[in-house]
Structure 1
Amino acid sequence: MTAALQQPASQNVARRMWQLFETFHAVTYFDPEARSAAESLGVEGFWGNYVAMRSAPLGAVGPDLVTAVFYGFHPDRIAATLPAVWESTTPDAVLAARLAGVDRALRRVWGESAAEDPDVRAAADLAWDAAQAADCAGRPLGAANRALPRPDEAHLALWQAATTLREHRGDGHIAALTVRRIHPVTAMLLKVGAGESEAEPLRLGRKWATFEWQAAELHAREQGLIDDAGRLTGTGAALHEAVEADTDSAAAGPWAQLGPDATAKLERLLMPLAGRVVAAGLLPEPNPIGLPLPGAATS
């Protein structure tokens, strides 16, 4: 039997596709085997692995650039890893470790035959086409991942394409936030207020001090975005949805280029693959990504 995600038909295609490919991209962060893949290179701890593996496509860059493109993180979180990590290893070595960790995680969740599965191969070909068609102007993380070579194994090619697409979307999301002058902490408060994530894990993970978080909460209440309980007001909900709508619009290009029939085929192929990740319990709900996890069903 195959686990399948139940997707709301009313959602637009860009958001539906994100929910699918983000689900299995995220094994990089939540699967213990995948997220610790770079430890043998001298990269230490959960956040050291996260920062090194996510930033490695950019090359051996410093903390200021990575803080800017990650957007939601306090500079101290990034500076704890960069640039020191590049004294003990290289971006190429970290990228190889990243793929090795994903390989182990996906083979465990999807089965040892994932690399030869014709459905995985078909999904990889379609997702790769979509990723290569993405307009990466102004999207540094999307562009850096798109420039990486295609892995030979189908499941890794699919994961790399998904990673390019999610970073392309993320770059567009940051543009939607910055054009509205939404501070990184305020952006997280909107996620919390919408019930997508929990406040304390976000604050601690991204290393914002309590006083910084509380100051942002006070400012958000003064702006009428959240109430005293931290829930979105009508104004806050409208702002949150406007940002998400612009994010979807900015992420629509790859699917327009791929075309509706091929996109629908890819969606059908991805649903059972994402469903297996959900069924394996790898992703917490709520999670810091704000990724909704539709219930898994068997078919």
Structure 2
Amino acid sequence: MTSLPARAGRRCHHVLNPLYSTVYFSPDYPRELADVGVHDRETHFFIGRAATLGAVGPGVVTATFYNYNHELVARHVPALWRTTTPEAVVGARLRAADTTLRRLLGDDVIKSDAMAEAAGLALRAAEACTRHARPLYAAQADQPVPAEPHLAYWHASALLREHRGDGHLLALLDAELDQVEALVSHTATGKGMRPHWVLATRGWGRADWDAAVERLRGRGILASEGELTLTEAGEALRADLEERTDRLDAAPYEHLGAEGVERLTELGRGFLMTAVAAGGFPADLTGKG
């Protein structure tokens, strides 16, 4: 295997995943979902990904997503599969990704040699992803690779995102962080979603959040008072989580090699900066407050 610079795979993931995620904040996504019979917006942050699993029950979705409230999931699954199909939802998400990327990046980027190159690099990295113990990656890998380069890039980014994410959930479980504690501790890093976004999308209430804060304070992971602040032990825990995730997610980036990872990161960063400048994310999405 090729030796990569420290955290090279993580840095690459951190430019691929956000652009992939723009679809979930796009006005195109609810319109496409409504056209296939999905009208309740509280489903939007999980139903597109859950649909790749097929018409499974709520237990499977809750288990594979880790930090969603089971009551939220169970309100909609499997009821949605009586009014639409997983295939229709997966198609709606891909159409939304198409229109979203076209709007945020513009035709010149969509049709560029750089986009085709990035798609090829990301797909090559994904060749080394593995299905065992990675349900969301495996489900996404069952989807066909789109022909258009910008959608192939989005699909490959989804593969790499889910592969890393499945591994990260194993690290969270081993760190003995429950669903809400995982969310709170991530927000406390300043890099996660703000509390109001977490509560609006994951199905938890303020009481659930506050109780998790107190549990983390009791474990010495959060400072005892004031705004969400990680203690030294909390910072070490979150750093260890990322290191463990890196180890579990090394294969695709080792397969691509140092030069390929550096080039994919460079291209992906350019696309992401263009999308951010075009308003791809809510201004208040991340932070502690």
User: Identical aligned pairs, as a percentage?
Assistant: 35
Distance in 2 between residues matched to 1:285 and 1:253, nearest whole Å: 34
Q: Is the 8 A contact 1:142 1:171 kept in 2?
A: yes
- CA deviations 1:177-197 (Å, max 9, x no partner) are 001221111111111221223
Deviations 1:97-152 (A, max 9, x none): 11111111111122235553221111111111111221232110011111211111
Which residue, out of 17, 33, 48, partners 2:12?
A: 17
Q: In structure 2, what residue type is equivalent to 1:256?
A: E
Aligned partner of 1:260 in structure 2 is: 258
The match for 1:226 is 222
Show the counterpart of 1:277. 275
2:9 and 2:261 in contact (8 A); partners too: no
Q: 1:122 aligns with which of 111, 117, 124?
A: 117
Contact 2:30 2:39 in 1 (8 A): no
Checking the alignment, whether the CA contact within 8 Å between 2:104 and 2:280 is kept in structure 1 is: no
TM superposition score normalised by structure 2: 0.91
SS of structure 1 residue aligned to 2:12:
helix
State the match for 1:136 in structure 2: 131
Paired with 2:208 and 2:148, the residues of 1 have a C-alpha distance of 45
Matches within 5 A, 1:60-99: 60-99=55-94
Deviation at 1:208, TM superposition (A): 1.4
Partner of 2:247: 249
Give the alignment's Cα RMSD to 1 decimal. Answer: 1.8
Conserved in 1, the CA contact under 8 Å of 2:45 and 2:201?
no
Q: Name structure 2 gaps, 5 residues minimum.
A: none
Which structure 1 segments of 5+ residues have no match? 1-9, 291-299
Contact 1:36 1:46 in 2 (8 A): no
Aligned partner of 1:27 in structure 2 is 22
SS in 2 for 1:182: coil
Distance (whole Å) between structure 2 residues aligned to residue 174 and residue 35 of structure 1: 27
The residue type paired with residue 223 of structure 1 is: R
Residue aligning to 1:193: 188
Q: CA deviation at 1:57?
A: 0.9
TM-score norm. by structure 1 comes to 0.88
Q: What does residue 206 of structure 2 align with?
A: 210
